[in-house]
Amino acid sequence: MKYQLQDISGQVVVITGATSGIGAAAARQFVAEGAKVVLNARNQERLAGIVAELGADNALAVAGDTADPNVCREVVKQAVAKFGKIDVVVPNAGIGKYGSVLDYSDEEVNEMMRTNFEGTVHIVRAALPEILKTGAGDVVIVSSVAGFRGGGVESIYAGTKHAQVGFAGGLDRELREKNVRVALVCPAGTETEFALGAGRTTDNPIMKEYLRPDDVAFQIVAIVKQPRSVRTHIWTLWSNKSTVINILT
């Protein structure tokens, strides 16, 4: 007998950092499954392009910085106004800057810390009351393997990812009895725009050996499609290329 996954058609999914990379790939895959998506990022023009691609009946865009709690509340307000509910939130917005702990300005460091951690906390706080109303839902936080072991050129970035891991652990223990599952998707290097110009370059051949955005997006969707009898809390992903694994482990 075939294993029975959840039908997620009609579910409403909020995704931050949705204009490219993992966020955009997840939006496409959720819509392919029949879900509706509410997309957030700071670039209004690029958000409009994703909505045009997916169709206005399937997608809504709300621009802004989710490190600002008021932006998060506006995302949720517009999601409920258009689609009537929220079933899933995917905090995915993130900034990476690689190098020494001393390499970047106070403003750049603060932006990374606020985007990666505060942005995660605030979109969850805003969306959770609506998720609880549905009686069952998912919080799928896109973190990183750096949340468990930071490299020598990513101490601040890794600190933000450790913070996400700690937040998700406590949140999982808080919400599991309320039928809200909390999962961490923690990829290794992924071929996206992430950290380009801040420690990564497009001409680095190792980028071709990284995970693809669709690899990570597939895991996000798979977690949501699991039967409600199953919880996945931590899912790490690595490229199968041994050179990448040797560098990152």
Active site residues: 157
What residues contact 107, with CB distance under 8 A and at least 6 apart? none
One-letter amino acid of 196: L
| Angle, alpha carbons 163-157-40 (nearest 5°) | 75
- Helix locations, the chain, DSSP H: 21-32, 44-54, 69-83, 106-113, 119-134, 155-175, 213-225, 242-248
What span, in angstroms and rounded, lies between the C-alpha atoms of 187 and 239? 9
50 three-class SS = helix
Task: Please name the residues in contact with 84: beta carbons below 8 A apart, sequence gap of 6 or more.
Answer: 12
Looking at the DSSP bridge assignments, the partners of residue 152 are none
